[in-house]
Structure 1
Amino acid sequence: MKKLLLPGFLLFIYISFVSAQTTEEIVAAIEKEANENSQLEQLAHELMDVIGPRLVGTPQMKTAHEWAVNTYKKWGIEAKNEAWGKWRGWQRGITHIDMLEPRVVTLSGIQLAWSPSTGPKGISANLVTLPTVPDSLAFAKWLPNVKGKLVMVSMEQPTGRPEYNWEEFATEESLEKMKKDRDAKEEAWRQNFKNTGYTSRTINEALEKAGAVGIVQSRWSNGFGANKIFSAGTKKIPVVDLSLEDYGMLYRMVEHAVNPKIKIVAESKELGTVPTFNTIATIPGKELPNEYIILSAHFDSWDGATGATDNGTGTITMLEAARILKKVYPNPKRTIIVGHWGSEEQGLNGSRAFVEDHPDIVSGLQALFNQDNGTGRVVNISGQGFLHSYDYIGKWLEAVPKEITQHIETNFPGNPGGGGSDYASFVAAGAPGFSLSSLSWSYWNYTWHTNLDTYDKIVFDDVRNNAILTAILAYMASEDPNKTSREKAALGINPRTGERRTWPEPRTPNRAGGLDN
């Protein structure tokens, strides 16, 4: 009997010890674990280098969900993959792009997401650029010229140097001339595109219907070597993105009647309809199990690179915070959930589905902390329009070490976010969701949705900083004797529209993405 009672007695003693620990002791334990036993580098390697990009509907996304569940289970944390919809299944294959005439050279480029395959033999064709037209009728008359051709749909950039590079080295006169010429060229391009009657989102389909055999673009991100990589928007013909340098070379050849010819091999695979998931991990609350803290980060990415800073860094921040909490705060007062959302990139679909499917959790939400925008240390927290958000977030932040909070600006009560990342799905439902907004580290030009968003861009000191911050905020929110207020502030005038702001409405997720293609 004594042997049977001993384990339970020891557990009671352990729980009593943990509950008796002071806030200062828990915070110190969180810092110590984060700094002396960090798992961030290993997690980043496994997720970004080994699994790779996590485009919704791909085998890599499914592998990532399974990896996350297994990782949590190793730490003794309950986790599951929760299906919320279905998506067009697609798998990236080899992309090889070569210029065959007037000389042979391998080009730097990539097939876009969900692009149809060329098959292993590929396609070879000459290129044409979009014409200058006065109106949509003239463009419609020109459209038959694309039959059997590869169509270039992006503007040739007047310079491949980012503006900061010009500012560092150019003369004042040269810089001003470049900016004037560039702005004029961009305005002329936008106007001509408008004259065609199409947008960058709709023109690919029109070119496909007119008989083009493929589409070539270059969506430069205003940084050396960086291009934005999104989706194809075609049903039968491939779409590729080329580097600024190679695209400009081909464009000039076409304009000078050199008539270049290229070959594209893009061996993607259609996988039919596949389920799509959120990964949900849970550390059950001991006193208030039906009140919740959610650690939030979207799991999916575009697949021009490996999605390291969008949103691999947010993902590993929440993984690491949960691991630390399980070790130093294993019996939280409230239930701690980690939500790794699917298909954020196509419209916050995973988190919006979770909000729809779990009204009980939304109703019992104490606070949600979301991290998304890059590898930098958190520098801004907004109250998201909740009138009394300062009362509780300000109190929670007091427990965070000064070397972390000294970098953070706060905005209370702030304005509710209508989109941008997954916290907005909860804010729209009237639940207290907060964005842990990061320092840029040239995010918008160099890593956001680009071909350069890779492991080597991660600043681990900043990510470790964010894991500590998140874990402490989760602990403080869990232990707070009071339920957080949801009273909304009176919203002011939007300076862009001149109209009074309104609280965002919940939006229905797309639970069947890409299936019309």
Structure 2
Amino acid sequence: MNKIYRYGLGLLLLISVKVQAQNPVIEAIIQEANENSQLETLAHELMDGIGPRLVGSPQMQKAHDWAVSQYQGWGITARNEQWGEWKGWERGITHIDMVAPWTRSLSGMQLAWSPASPKGGVVGEVVMIPDLADSIAFQKWLPSVKGKYVMISAPQLTGRPDYNWEKWAKEGSLDKIKEAQSQLDAEWTNRISRTGLNRRTLPEALENAGAVGILTSYWSRAFGANKIFSASTKKIPTVDISLEDYGMLFRLVESGKKPQINLNAQSKETGIQPTFNTIAEIKGTERPDEYVMLSAHFDSWDGGTGATDNGTGTILMMEVMRVLKKVYPNPKRTILVGHWGSEEQGLNGSRAFVEDHPEMMDKIQVLFNQDNGTGRVANLSGQGFVDSYEYLGRWLNKVPRTITSEIETTFPGNPGGGGSDYASFVAAGVPAFNLSSLSWDYSTQTWHTNMDTYDKIVFDDVRSNVILAAIMVYMACEEPEMVSREKRIPLNFRTGEPTEWPSPRSPNRKGGMD
């Protein structure tokens, strides 16, 4: 590198750091976030103390009440705002024991909204969907499932993720097993297809024929991680079993050894429950009817404790509010945070807020959302707002370079149509931006899995995100005028023709009641 250029760059960085240090609010934000962080305490209280936050569950309501109490303890006004109702369900124990041909406790759990077993569980033989010629043959076989547990997922040939094979295997071994797995998956898909049913209707047919439980296994392609979603059965339990134990059962069935399990899955329906968003605010002094918003969904699936999806986004936004209340208690604009319910079922909480508060949409300066995991912010898109580079660039320049140096930006970008709650606001024309995180193997290790727990949180990264978000909010509050909302209509990459800006969508306000 040229010495003059190197000197000039160093001088610019020095000037940048000096400018930042001369702003007492920014300096105080950095100091408070680093020296008096409450992130570990918040994470413990939320993930360990309350647990997962499935919409309609008692833990979800406890989390809403806890957040309001936390905010009030910091002197921040907060409320729970009802937007709908959901089928109530409370998870109980799941014990799965193989009792023949030998005894072993298996690893697994019931899916969300699964019906319960009879008290104490039921012993039954494990069978799989057979390879039959067509739906007529399937209907003839169907009565044989009475009193049995039925496996409906394809097994995995290996529990080792690709990276582990790439590190240790002989050349060609990974390709060989990938090809074998691909063939097995295709054959299993064809097997299910020939029943004349699909993954949704098959469990219903099995339970109506007298099966005592449905066994699935949805591997997330990481050691020990399975994705845990919802059951479609109405009368019998559906459980997800770990890759290792499901594979063992499958092989035993396939070899004719007729394994038996005792499944004791306890849960209970709790009736129709109200669903909420938790809203907190620090009132503005000069422009109280203009808003700078923070956003994170509060709910989770309940395979783990919802630590990185979206416990980290939740505690990030709570900590930003705490820090700002302490060092910037009289913002020019009102700072508002939304902790949304039922994001996992279709952005329902944030869509409800947009629909219920149309008068606010033109008064939101910007919104910052965080959702996808524990990592430090690595990507920022302008979401199709033409002038986003100008104001986001200026604000980012006030954040320490140690935090922003690795952030990749795309301006103006294209509007997000879904994926997380910022999209609900983009559709309403609000400059809403997603603080997208570094992976930390999020998609395989923790996203919707049984492994999404407190120990996966990288607190140093979350602390960096607190500083970033707090400074961006401060700068947005101080901005003399409302920022530009001029949009770039995205083009269809196939035709080159303009498409349409995303349209606001109504939420599902009565969930799980079919």
Task: Please classify the TM superposition score into its range, dividing by the shorter chain length.
Answer: over 0.9
Matches within 5 A, 1:352-363: 352-363=351-362
Worse-matched range after superposition: 116-125 or 264-273: 116-125
Alpha-carbon shift at residue 388 of structure 1 (Å): 1.4
Matches within 5 A, 1:194-205: 194-205=193-204
Query: What is the rounded CA distance, in whole Å, between the counterparts of 1:241 and 1:450 in structure 2?
Result: 11
With over 3 angstroms needed to count, the CA separation of the structure-2 counterparts of 1:154 and 1:479, relative to structure 1, is: same
Q: Does 1:515 align with 2:513?
A: yes
Quick one: which amino acid aligns to residue 284 of structure 1?
A: K
Aligned twin of 1:12: none
- CA contact 1:377–1:462 (8 Å) conserved in 2: yes
- CA contact 2:21–2:27 (8 Å) conserved in 1: no
Alpha-carbon shift at residue 22 of structure 1 (Å): 9.3
Q: Does 1:473 align with 2:472?
A: yes
Quick one: which amino acid aligns to residue 479 of structure 1?
A: E
Aligned twin of 2:482: 483
Q: Does 1:381 align with 2:389?
A: no
Question: What whole-Å deviation, never above 9, does each CA across 1:168-189 have from its counterpart, x for those lacking one?
Answer: 1111132221122122222222
Query: What is the rounded CA distance, in whole Å, between the counterparts of 2:415 and 2:304 in structure 1?
Result: 31
Alpha-carbon shift at residue 506 of structure 1 (Å): 1.2
Matches within 5 A, 1:309-324: 309-324=308-323
Matches within 5 A, 1:143-292: 143-292=142-291
Quick one: which amino acid aligns to residue 319 of structure 1?
A: M
Query: What is the rounded CA distance, in whole Å, between the counterparts of 1:405 and 1:397 in structure 2?
Result: 7
Alpha-carbon shift at residue 133 of structure 1 (Å): 3.4
- In structure 2, the residue corresponding to 1:221 is in which secondary structure? coil
Question: What whole-Å deviation, never above 9, does each CA across 1:454-480 have from its counterpart, x for those lacking one?
Answer: 000000000001111110111111110
Alpha-carbon shift at residue 144 of structure 1 (Å): 2.5
Worse-matched range after superposition: 356-365 or 418-427: 356-365
Alpha-carbon shift at residue 50 of structure 1 (Å): 0.7
With over 3 angstroms needed to count, the CA separation of the structure-2 counterparts of 1:325 and 1:146, relative to structure 1, is: same
Alpha-carbon shift at residue 363 of structure 1 (Å): 2.1
Quick one: which amino acid aligns to residue 503 of structure 2?
A: E
Across the aligned residues of Structure 1 and Structure 2, the Cα RMSD in angstroms comes to 1.6
TM-score by length of 2: 0.94
- CA contact 1:384–1:415 (8 Å) conserved in 2: yes
Aligned twin of 2:504: 506
Question: What whole-Å deviation, never above 9, does each CA across 1:74-107 have from its counterpart, x for those lacking one?
Answer: 1100000111111111111111110111111111
Query: What is the rounded CA distance, in whole Å, between the counterparts of 1:346 and 1:282 in structure 2?
Result: 26
Alpha-carbon shift at residue 23 of structure 1 (Å): 7.3
- In structure 2, the residue corresponding to 1:62 is in which secondary structure? helix
Question: What whole-Å deviation, never above 9, does each CA across 1:491-512 have from its counterpart, x for those lacking one?
Answer: 12245x9875432121110111
Runs of 4+ in 1 over 6 A off after TM superposition: none
Alpha-carbon shift at residue 146 of structure 1 (Å): 2.1
Query: What is the rounded CA distance, in whole Å, between the counterparts of 1:274 and 1:449 in structure 2?
Result: 23
Query: What is the rounded CA distance, in whole Å, between the counterparts of 1:368 and 1:147 in structure 2?
Result: 54
Quick one: which amino acid aligns to residue 245 of structure 2?
A: D
Aligned twin of 2:456: 457
Query: What is the rounded CA distance, in whole Å, between the counterparts of 2:307 and 2:256 in structure 1?
Result: 41
- In structure 2, the residue corresponding to 1:272 is in which secondary structure? strand
Matches within 5 A, 1:83-122: 83-122=82-121
Quick one: which amino acid aligns to residue 294 of structure 2?
A: L
Unaligned 5+ segments in structure 2 are 1-19
Aligned twin of 2:126: 127
Question: What whole-Å deviation, never above 9, does each CA across 1:227-264 have from its counterpart, x for those lacking one?
Answer: 00011111111011111111011011111111111111
Aligned twin of 2:17: none
Aligned twin of 1:442: 441
Aligned twin of 1:9: none
Query: What is the rounded CA distance, in whole Å, between the counterparts of 2:498 and 2:161 in structure 1?
Result: 38
With over 3 angstroms needed to count, the CA separation of the structure-2 counterparts of 1:159 and 1:390, relative to structure 1, is: same
TM-score by length of 1: 0.93
Worse-matched range after superposition: 59-68 or 194-203: 194-203
Question: What whole-Å deviation, never above 9, does each CA across 1:201-244 have from its counterpart, x for those lacking one?
Answer: 33222222232211011111111100000111111110111111
- CA contact 1:282–1:337 (8 Å) conserved in 2: yes
Question: What whole-Å deviation, never above 9, does each CA across 1:105-144 have from its counterpart, x for those lacking one?
Answer: 1111111111111132212211111122344344333333
- In structure 2, the residue corresponding to 1:204 is in which secondary structure? helix
Quick one: which amino acid aligns to residue 269 of structure 1?
A: K
With over 3 angstroms needed to count, the CA separation of the structure-2 counterparts of 1:157 and 1:331, relative to structure 1, is: same
- In structure 2, the residue corresponding to 1:491 is in which secondary structure? coil
Quick one: which amino acid aligns to residue 514 of structure 1?
A: G
Aligned twin of 1:397: 396
With over 3 angstroms needed to count, the CA separation of the structure-2 counterparts of 1:481 and 1:453, relative to structure 1, is: same
- CA contact 1:494–1:500 (8 Å) conserved in 2: no
- CA contact 1:126–1:149 (8 Å) conserved in 2: yes
Question: What whole-Å deviation, never above 9, does each CA across 1:386-412 have from its counterpart, x for those lacking one?
Answer: 111112111111111111110111111
Quick one: which amino acid aligns to residue 508 of structure 1?
A: S
Query: What is the rounded CA distance, in whole Å, between the counterparts of 1:425 and 1:71 in structure 2?
Result: 26
- In structure 2, the residue corresponding to 1:222 is in which secondary structure? coil
Query: What is the rounded CA distance, in whole Å, between the counterparts of 1:249 and 1:116 in structure 2?
Result: 25
- CA contact 1:381–1:411 (8 Å) conserved in 2: yes
- CA contact 2:489–2:500 (8 Å) conserved in 1: no
- In structure 1, the residue corresponding to 2:113 is in which secondary structure? coil
Worse-matched range after superposition: 362-371 or 176-185: 176-185
Aligned twin of 1:430: 429
Matches within 5 A, 1:301-380: 301-380=300-379
Quick one: which amino acid aligns to residue 225 of structure 2?
A: A
Aligned twin of 1:61: 60
Quick one: which amino acid aligns to residue 344 of structure 1?
A: E
- In structure 1, the residue corresponding to 2:172 is in which secondary structure? helix
Query: What is the rounded CA distance, in whole Å, between the counterparts of 1:242 and 1:23 in structure 2?
Result: 57
Matches within 5 A, 1:16-27: 24-27=23-26
Query: What is the rounded CA distance, in whole Å, between the counterparts of 1:26 and 1:145 in structure 2?
Result: 71
Aligned length: 495
Query: What is the rounded CA distance, in whole Å, between the counterparts of 1:123 and 1:428 in structure 2?
Result: 49
Query: What is the rounded CA distance, in whole Å, between the counterparts of 1:282 and 1:75 in structure 2?
Result: 11
- CA contact 1:382–1:412 (8 Å) conserved in 2: yes
Query: What is the rounded CA distance, in whole Å, between the counterparts of 1:483 and 1:196 in structure 2?
Result: 59
